[in-house]
A and B are shown apart, each in its own frame.
Chain A
Amino acid sequence: MRALKAPRAIATLERVETSAPLVSGASSARTVLEVRGLSRRYGALVAVDALSFEAREGEILGLVGPNGAGKTSTLRSIAGVLPTPPDVIGVCGHDIARDEEAAKRCLRWIPDDPQPFEALTVAEHLEFTAALYRCADWREQARELLERFELTDKRDALGGELSRGMRQKLSMCCAWLGAPRLVLLDEPLSGLDPRGIRSAKQAIVELAARGAAVILSSHLLELIEALATRLLILDHGRCVFAGTLDEARAAFPEQQRGSLEEIFFAATGRPPAGGGARSA
């Protein structure tokens, strides 16, 4: 991918420095996702305002923010569901606007309420996903995933017959199939039972350990605190903090021993200083 250039329209905005060291040992990891000056408007509403960040191999990036902060719009733009101009989003070195199919082949997207194809069985969803992402020798992995997410006995159930939690599990099975380089998760634990939550958490950590970058958007701050290696806090479409939890504590001195929840309120409870982002 060509080097991503910041569009002129956001040139005046303070750039978010995202090259802060990750958790130990991860700093040499390659960049999987580059976002430079992403903006998104719905009429007069600015949903995402000149957002820039990166995600690297093995990283779990926690995306948090109040309702309407622009999290889902950001994820949908990265997934290619929403169009973006060239030189704004790069996935595995492919510009999503110029080289869309190659970029999408590296990523998987699980929306907050995944909707499987109504008339396809669970097993057929995996067959389709394998064909879509050209996964070779996928059957054994599919069997393992079905077992892991407790869907083995549901393999012949239709997509339209699945409960919310089952749909979530099926979408995870599909997303985990093959070797995704970037996985975008929007509220991935919605509808899951405690056992499913534990499996999902473990699967996310293992996915990152295998080298995938995971962007995890959730209002469950305990989940983000437990899994994320780095944070991106959005408010009104703008990044108000980017960095690790320790760096967040340093950036908000009054929260030296604070949890992510307290940092979240500190970061979003007042307008960002000088209108720009606070970064580590």
Chain B
Amino acid sequence: MSSILDPAASLLLRLKWRGFWRKQWRRVRTPSGAVLALVGGALGALWLASLSLSMFRSGPARLGADEVELLAQLALAVIVVITLSTSLSFRGLYVPAGEIETLFSAPLSRPSLIRMRLAVALVRSGLGAAFAGLGAARLGSSPLYAFAGAFSAFLWAPILGQGVAIALGGAENRLAARLARAPHRALRMALVGALLIGLVMLLTQDPRASDAPLRTPLEQLRQLAEQPVVAALLSPFWPWARAISATGPAEFWPAFALCLALMAATLFAVGNLRVDFRETALATAAEVARRLARMRRGLGAGGVEARRLPLEWRTPWLFGRGPFGAIAYRKTASILRRARGGLVFGAVVMAAVTLFASQWAGPAGGGYRAALLVAGFGAFYLSLGLRYDFREELDALPAIRAWPLAPWKIFLATIAPQVALVSLLVAAGVLITLARAGELDLRFAPLTLLIALLVATWVCIDNLAFLLAPTRAAPGHDGVLQHMGRSIVLAVLRSLTMAAALAAAAAPVAVCVQLLGWSLESALPLGLSAAAGVLSVEIAALVAAGGLALARFDVARER
């Protein structure tokens, strides 16, 4: 490495590598860190072991070498396309925002920076490549050849992606001024025109190709791969596909040697790119840092950014104009400005579930069965999917604790908009389901109330657990094992608590049916009322506990 890398860059990589293991060691030295790492590590080890064992077993349907080669070629094409499309979001050379000022002002050549980054990328993709190799080993005629071929392919793809990102960044720099002056409308028209031409070509293509009846999906794929354009596009992946599907050394070694040669050539070409990537790298680093910061604030996988609503939209004050209402208003505004995509997606999922439930329940008398399905799934799915609670407040918690309101009220006001939103969406689904079945009657009202109470119970438990054991992890952060272990432990604890809460709520009905011998129908009105009462008491207790947790919250406990 030293002969390829600048000595200082080489030293930095060595120090960072040492630092990485030192941090892991420091994390497992605490009892909780050790236990959580053990839980996370055990899960990872189990997965790896199952993959490794399956490597020596035949797959469900052993494929011929030709078929494996075809599948490998297509799979690699898909993976490379995904890698390249990801590279478009990381234009230039990605350097973490915290390091960019140091590294860009340092006397290091740009190729040296690229090589340093490539070394990091190779190490990072090693684990993923190993998993991919183990997966491929199940399909190949020879597990070891298949592993080696897939492993090298998964190391090569990120190098190629990095090269494309740098080259595109360079092209962007050169073209930026021209593109800025280019007539955007004309460009858009050209793009739309190209798409239309492509569509027309697709519709008017020679139908003879589909004359022969097709029997299997594999045959369809083969036919696709034999198209001249597709065959040309797939040809770069042939060496890896041949290595993966090789049945003996005579097939494997020439193909694998070609793989290694291509990888070395790509490494050399990318490592010697003469592109000034500073502008694009700075923009990329800033964008990634913003996204990570949003994800650390708990704004979902996409790290959704707040967007300004049209001026005529007004965020409603749903819970009055007092301090409680103000906190809830703040959260409502956050939901409306950040969650529009999530809301639309949630609504679409609810619509699909409503449709499915109606068909599943059948035409006669099944309205309430379908409504219960919608209510159960909706409350579960939306409570997990639409999380706009304390997770996004972690950075602001010290300030929130200073607000002039009792902690339990702050807790309640913060979760109230999410509970209202999820309950509203689920109730709408239930209403539509019952209306479609023609069974909309007075029972709808208590069902809606029960839904709101169930959602509130879950959101309270979820937020209480978060305040007691705050955790936030984002890609690129270390402590993956601990985070995985912690997530599993917390998920189990939350589920157990929810199960206990539901059991307590269902206890009155169970007592009526099991001990007193009532029929379910006659026990339901009393049972549901009692369940609502039990849930209300539970929610009150959880809110009080949430207030205590908020009052005692210590930011320093965050891992």
Contacts and interface: CB of A to CB of B under 8 A. Distances in A.
Interface of A: 76, 79-83, 100-102, 104-105, 107-109, 111, 114-121, 124, 127-128, 131-133, 158
Nearest to A81: B104
Contact of A128 (B12, B276, B279, B478): B12
A114 B107 contact: no
Contact of A119 (B11, B16, B279): B16
B308 to A, nearest CB: 19
Contacts of B276: 83
Contacts of A128: 8, 11-12, 15
A101 B107 contact: yes
A76 B97 CA distance: 14
B404 to A, nearest CB: 29
B25 to A, nearest CB: 11
Contact of B22 (A100, A105, A109, A119): A119
8 smallest A-B Cβ distances: which pairs?
A119-B19, A115-B98, A79-B105, A104-B107, A132-B8, A109-B105, A131-B8, A105-B107
A117 B279 contact: no
Interface of B: 7-8, 11-12, 15-16, 19-20, 22-23, 97-102, 104-109, 276, 278-279, 282, 478
Given A81-B282, A128-B12, A128-B15, 13 more contacts: A79-B101, A80-B105, A81-B100, A82-B282, A83-B278, A83-B279, A101-B109, A104-B106, A104-B107, A119-B19, A131-B8, A132-B8, A133-B107
B13 to A, nearest CB: 10
A259 to B, nearest CB: 32
Please classify the interface of chain B as helix (H, G, I), strand (E, B), loop, or mixed, using the class held by over half of its residues: helix
Nearest to B173: A83
Which of A118, A120, A127 is the most central at the interface, judged by chain B CB atoms within 10 Å of its CB?
A118
Nearest to A119: B19
Contact of A81 (B7, B20, B98, B101): B101
A75 to B, nearest CB: 10
Nearest to A174: B102
Contacts of A82: 278-279, 282
Nearest to B24: A119
B93 to A, nearest CB: 13
A105 B109 CA distance: 11
A231 B8 CA distance: 36
Contacts of B108: 101, 132
Contacts of B23: 119, 158
Which of B16, B97, B107, B278 is the most central at the interface, judged by chain A CB atoms within 10 Å of its CB?
B107
15 contacts: A80-B104, A82-B282, A83-B279, A101-B108, A102-B107, A104-B106, A109-B101, A109-B105, A115-B98, A115-B101, A117-B19, A119-B22, A127-B15, A128-B8, A158-B19
Contacts of A120: 15-16, 19
A237 B478 CA distance: 40
Which of A131, A132, A133 is the most central at the interface, judged by chain B CB atoms within 10 Å of its CB?
A132
A109 B102 CA distance: 8
A101 B23 CA distance: 32
A123 to B, nearest CB: 10
A80 B108 CA distance: 11
Nearest to B21: A119
A227 to B, nearest CB: 22
A132 B106 contact: yes
Contacts of B99: 115, 117
A117 B16 contact: yes
Nearest to A107: B105
Contacts of B7: 131
Contacts of B282: 81-82
A54 B337 CA distance: 48
B120 to A, nearest CB: 12
Nearest to A104: B107
B117 to A, nearest CB: 14
Contacts of B478: 119
A35 to B, nearest CB: 16
Contacts of B109: 100-101
A82 B283 CA distance: 11
B105 to A, nearest CB: 4
Contact of B15 (A109, A111, A124): A124
Contacts of A100: 107, 109
A131 B107 CA distance: 11
A81 B105 contact: yes
Which of B7, B102, B478 is the most central at the interface, judged by chain A CB atoms within 10 Å of its CB?
B102
B107 A127 contact: no
A68 B314 CA distance: 32
A123 B104 CA distance: 21
Nearest to B278: A83
Contacts of A114: 101-102
Contacts of A132: 8, 106-108
Contacts of A102: 107
Nearest to A110: B101
Given A119-B16, A119-B22, A111 B101 contact: yes
A258 B386 CA distance: 59
Contact of A127 (B11, B97, B98, B104): B11
B490 to A, nearest CB: 24
A177 to B, nearest CB: 13
Contacts of A104: 105-107
Contacts of B16: 117, 119-120
A119 B279 CA distance: 26
Contacts of B98: 115-118
A108 B101 CA distance: 11
Nearest to A125: B15
Contacts of B101: 76, 79, 81, 109, 111, 114-115
Contacts of B278: 81-83
B96 to A, nearest CB: 9
Contacts of B100: 81
Contacts of A81: 100-101, 104-105, 278, 282
B105 A124 contact: no
Contacts of A109: 101, 105
A254 to B, nearest CB: 40
Contacts of A108: 105
A117 B22 CA distance: 14
A94 B107 CA distance: 13
A124 B19 contact: yes
B289 to A, nearest CB: 10
A124 B107 CA distance: 18
B174 to A, nearest CB: 12
A131 B19 contact: no
A207 to B, nearest CB: 17
Contacts of B279: 82-83
A158 B15 CA distance: 12
Contacts of A79: 101, 104-105
A224 B473 CA distance: 41
A131 B8 CA distance: 5
A131 B105 contact: no
Which of B98, B279, B478 is the most central at the interface, judged by chain A CB atoms within 10 Å of its CB?
B98
